[in-house]
Amino acid sequence: MLQSLTQNQRAYIAGFLDGDGSIYVRAKPNPTYRFGFQIAPYIVFFQSQSSQERFGEICKLISVGHLRIRSDGILEYIINRIDEIKMLLECVRPFAILKRRQIDLMLKIIESKSQVENEDDFEKLLQLVNSYRELNYSKKRKQRSLTP
């Protein structure tokens, strides 16, 4: 499991995440959720299908998430369970350079999500989710407030 990774392995995964990974979170409209949105965090590693065997070794090392092949031949290793995201980010955080701010904010979002008790708490969580997009390249999505 992730806790048994050596420091070298953690550093390697952090470097891979810095270079060929993505950390993001979305507030997806979903009327079945308490405040009408599902907070969905993700970590995704990318690699060409031509590197599938070696990439598979990295996926086994991480040991959480699932692998999928996109129609354009890109492999995606997706981690979308909150507990697994938190564990992985805590393991690689000391070694990350380029995505350190994303890691810190994602950990803050995960912590805030677990403490939502009312609409005001959820509003604060949505603000954190919206601030996340400023750290990434996608500036298109922004969730509106629950109140007009």
Say whether 40 sits in a helix, a strand or coil: strand
pTM for the model stands at 0.87
Structural domain including 93 reads: 2-135
Is 140 a member of any domain? Answer: no
Give pLDDT tens digits for 116-128: 999 999 999 999 9
Spatial separation of the C-alpha atoms in residues 76 and 58, rounded to whole Å:
12
Among this protein's residues, is 20 annotated catalytic?
yes
Give domain status of residue 141, yes or no.
no
Q: What is the pLDDT of residues 30-83, one digit of tens each?
A: 999 999 999 999 999 999 999 999 999 999 999 999 999 999 999 999 999 999
Choosing from 15, 18, 20, 121, which is the catalytic residue? 20
The CATH number assigned to the domain holding 7 equals: 3.10.28.10
Please say if 21 is a catalytic residue.
no
